[in-house]
Amino acid sequence: MLNQERLDPKQLVFTGTASHRGRTVAVCPQNSVLRHLCYGRVRLDTTLSTTAFETGGRETALLCMRGACRVSVGSTGYDIGLYDAIYIPRGSFVEVTTRGEVDLVEIAAEVTGDYPLQVIRYTELAKDPKLKFTAGGAATTRDLNIVIGDNVRAGRILAGFTRSQPGNWTSWPPHEHGAMLEEVYVYFDMPPPAFGIQMVYTQPGEPELAAVVRDGDAVLMPAGYHPNVAAPGHSINFIWMMAAHREVEDRQFGVVNVQPGFDKSGSGLEASRK
């Protein structure tokens, strides 16, 4: 049992976060229980093809989940395609433009350090078995992609995406990392009638959250175990993003506490630590 105050389930779910065109910041410390992590969305098409913003004090990553675009930071432009990402330092002016359509997930957190701009190509990271691997076993198999991990110099943020096999559990065995990292799951590529069940709990016998989740929903995990399961015949797919509490020091993927009783065969994330 974790030594944690119970979470308020009403503060953990944000619905329909991918439904707006333009740039929208859906979750941040100012409107949630999170201390550091910000989640936003940039959705552009031919009717609204450009947007611009400043990162301010936040390091920011943009992860492309559909389409393609050009991301200009200052006077330099970078072409970003499906599942590519770009890490943008704090204090930057950013412009995003597309000739067709693009759906970017924005991950950000306030930092005090300075880290360089970096472009992450999915075709390259997919060759690295520490960054792209299959985890789990029977009924828990999923494809895990670490896009912003130890391949990127950063202060707080980590991000990637997971796709389950139809009807399978993910984030299994149940694990938590609340002392080091807060997290958000955002569900994608789950067209109706697909859905999943997301749990978040600090006390296994009394879950704070057991909610139906659908495409575009976001669930916050400031603490607690957080397993989920897909509906039979459908996958549960989610972008996961984390922010370290202690800058740099706590920015470690795969360092987790597995729920006692489910800890006999490891965390399922061992490949990321090799």
Residue-wise pLDDT tens digits, 4-43: 678 999 999 999 999 999 999 999 999 999 999 999 999 9
DSSP state of 255: -
Whether residue 93 lies inside any domain: the answer is yes
pLDDT value of position 5: 76
pTM exceeding the 0.85 threshold for the entire prediction: yes
How many other CB atoms are found less than 10 A from the CB of residue 197? 16
Report the alpha-carbon distance of residue 183 to residue 202 in Å, rounded: 14
Tokens at 122, concatenated: 């999915």
CATH number of the domain enclosing 196 = 2.60.120.10
- The residue among 221, 87, 80, 242 whose CA lies nearest residue 154 is 87
pLDDT value of position 265: 79
Helix or strand run (H / E) with residue 123: helix 122-125
Q: In terms of residue numbers, what domain contains 162?
A: 9-253
Whether residue 126 lies inside any domain: the answer is yes
pLDDT value of position 264: 86
Q: Residue 2 above 70 pLDDT?
A: no
Residue 113's contacts (CB-CB under 8 Å, 6 or more residues apart) are 155, 247, 248
Reading across the β-sheet that carries 69-73, which strands appear in turn? Answer: 50-54, 93-97, 69-73, 76-80
Q: Residue 1 above 50 pLDDT?
A: no
Q: Percent helix, strand, coil in the chain (nearest 5)?
A: 5, 45, 50
Mean pLDDT along residues 128-143:
96
For 189-237, the pLDDT digits (tens) are 999 999 999 999 999 889 999 999 999 999 999 999 999 999 999 999 9
Q: Cα-atom radius of gyration of the chain, to the nearest Å?
A: 18
Whether residue 4 lies inside any domain: the answer is no
Helix or strand run (H / E) with residue 212: strand 209-213
Mean pLDDT along residues 44-48:
98
**What value does the mean pLDDT of the chain take?**
96
Q: 29 with 38: CB under 8 angstroms?
A: yes
Number of H helices, E strands in the chain: 1, 23
SS3 50: strand
DSSP state of 174: -
Report the alpha-carbon distance of residue 18 to residue 105 in Å, rounded: 9
Whether residue 49 lies inside any domain: the answer is yes
Whether residue 261 lies inside any domain: the answer is no
Whether residue 260 lies inside any domain: the answer is no
Q: How many separate domains does the chain show?
A: 1
Whether residue 262 lies inside any domain: the answer is no
Whether residue 264 lies inside any domain: the answer is no
